[in-house]
Amino acid sequence: MTARIAIFGDLLDFTAEPDWGDTLSSSVRWRPAHWLLVEGGRIVAVQADAPDASWQRHDHAGRLVLPGFIDSHVHSPQLDVIASYGTELLDWLHTYTFPAEQRHADPAQAEAVATLFLDALLAHGTTAAVVFPTVHKVSAEALFSAAQQRGMRLVAGKVLMDRHAPEGLRDDVVQAERDCRDLIARWHGRERLAYAVTVRFAPTSTPQQLAMAGRLCAEDPTLYMQTHVAENPDEVRWVAELFPKARSYLDVYERHGLLNQRSVLAHGIWLDAADRARLHTLGAQIAFCPSSNLFLGSGLFGWAATEDAGVGISLASDVGGGTSLSMQRTLADGYKVQALAGTKLSAWALLHAATRGAAQALGLSHEIGSLEGGTVADLCVWDWAGSAVARRRQQVARDLHEKVFAWITLGDERDLVETWVAGVRRHRRDGVR
Ligand code: GUN
Ligand code: ZN
């Protein structure tokens, strides 16, 4: 018999997309002191009354229950370079990141880091992610295998890069295509795993490799595509030199058949209105990475212009350009970046983008991103406050938006009590009652 689990707490999720500045949004679903019932790994009901004794009860009275966070852009091997001093994107890649990624040719390293990385995601309340491993096939294998063992929803793929990278970190078109096809056959659509054709960024792939990647996407429209776009001004200038016929950086990807509803493009800071219109038309989405954008000094993403153009936006840590796997910290950084642009994002807009919004953009809202009946029970239990200052702030908060905004702004993974993936508890804070 499958376990019947009942989790009690203050349930918060969304039924629609909130407008970015609306603190009173009717899309917020707030069900304090409710039971969430899980059977066979899925949410089967939410109710105020306690269920009967056939349900295994987990009482988290006074705690917050949220859908698991979705990190829509993060690099597993870059735990080794998180918090590296003093560079912008292109220097950062060559000084810190490429040398670290070279180590992942070793299967033992790849396996050890995949395990560490996924356990770290779970310990930060992230239950689903779109992930870059390295160029090495073995690093993608290790990541998929570790995600499968944990029952996690993961989108990933071997990184494609056949130029402008050091020895040991380059593939070639023929071998890369072979590796992609093997990995797709083995992992795409297997349990909760999906393959993403993973172009690192335009400068590290030849036009021939980009064309190969485009062919893979065209052959199977259920594949995802992930890459970086228009993150840094020097990078944008370099792409213009490398692809003189392209109208823009984004156009390089469009010309090679890489933009569709399953494309996740990180950053998109230095796009213009024509690019945003193309993203909208093609259905591709932006992963906003505020911590990384601040840390690498990349620039300030235009949320309002992007949303106004009808482009989906999700939130992402972009570790190791970003400095924390905590989605609370990522959301708090997102608020501050947008505040500089005069766009005061509500707690609802932020939280939605890291849960239901990301799920929708990935075409996975039937499975993740909310506490809706029928979806997979990927959820987290959180304390409302983890410090005396945060407790005081919660005590004086006048309404739910104020409470949740303070929780995002003052919180981090230390507030996390439990992480559940498909109805199985995969993380529990030490010493929890
Ligand atoms: N552009 C190409 N590769 C990377 C990477 O690893 N991190 C970030 N932030 N940008 C990139
Ligand atoms: Zn990145």
For the chain, what is the mean pLDDT?
97
Atom of ligand 1 minimally distant from the CA of 296: 9
Nearest to 161 by CA among 104, 236, 220: 104
Q: Rg of the chain's alpha carbons, rounded to an integer?
A: 21
Q: What is the pLDDT of residue 110?
A: 96
Distances (CA, A) of 350 to 129, 175, 345, 354, 357: 17, 41, 7, 7, 9
The Cα 180–Cα 182 span in angstroms is: 5
Atom of ligand 1 minimally distant from the CA of 75: 6
Atom of ligand 1 minimally distant from the CA of 298: 9
- Ligand number nearest CA of 91 is 1
Beta-strand (E) ranges in 230-357? 263-267, 285-288, 313-315
Chain segment 52-85, per-residue pLDDT in tens: 999 999 999 999 999 999 999 999 999 999 999 9
What are residue 400's phi and psi, to 5 degrees? -65, -40
pLDDT surpassing 70 at residue 1: no
Q: What is the pLDDT of residue 432?
A: 73
* Confidence grade of residue 2 (pLDDT, cut at 50, 70, 90): confident
The Cα 317–Cα 75 span in angstroms is: 9
Mutate to test the pocket of ligand 1, among 71, 78, 97, 135 (most ligand atoms within 8 A of CB): 97
Check if the beta carbon of residue 107 is closer than 8 Å to that of residue 138.
yes
Helix/strand/coil for 426: strand
Mutate to test the pocket of ligand 1, among 200, 265, 286, 301 (most ligand atoms within 8 A of CB): 200
- Ligand number nearest CA of 94 is 1
Burial 23-62 (b: 16+ CB within 10 A, else e): bebebbbebeebbbbbbebbbeebeeeebeeebeebebee
Atom of ligand 1 minimally distant from the CA of 320: 7
Check if the beta carbon of residue 287 is closer than 8 Å to that of residue 72.
yes
Mutate to test the pocket of ligand 1, among 71, 72, 74, 75 (most ligand atoms within 8 A of CB): 75
Atom of ligand 1 minimally distant from the CA of 292: 9
Specify the long-range contacts of residues 394-397, CB closer than 8 Å, at least 24 apart: none
Distance of CA 358 to the CA centre of its chain: 8
pLDDT surpassing 80 at residue 433: no
Nearest to 12 by CA among 409, 407, 289, 325: 407
Atom of ligand 1 minimally distant from the CA of 321: 9
Q: Which residues line ligand 1 (CB under 6 A)?
A: 75, 89, 93, 97, 200-201, 228, 231, 292, 318, 321
Q: What is the DSSP letter of 157?
A: -
- CA–centroid distance, 227 to ligand 2, in Å, is 8
The Cα 231–Cα 91 span in angstroms is: 14
Mutate to test the pocket of ligand 1, among 74, 82, 89, 130 (most ligand atoms within 8 A of CB): 89
Chain segment 393-432, per-residue pLDDT in tens: 999 999 999 999 999 999 999 999 999 999 999 999 987 7
The Cα 129–Cα 111 span in angstroms is: 18
Nearest CA to ligand 1 atom 8: 321
- CA–centroid distance, 229 to ligand 1, in Å, is 9
- What is the pLDDT averaged over residues 16-45? 96
Chain segment 217-267, per-residue pLDDT in tens: 999 999 999 999 999 999 999 999 999 999 999 999 999 999 999 999 999
Count CB atoms within 10 A of the CB of residue 257: 16
As given in the structure block, the two tokens for residue 155 are 């989108």
pLDDT surpassing 60 at residue 353: yes
Full DSSP string of 7-33: EEEEEEEESSPPPTT-TT-TTEEEEEE
Q: What is the pLDDT of residue 160?
A: 98
Chain segment 292-345, per-residue pLDDT in tens: 999 999 999 999 999 999 999 999 999 999 999 999 999 999 999 999 999 999
More confident residue, 260 or 19: 260
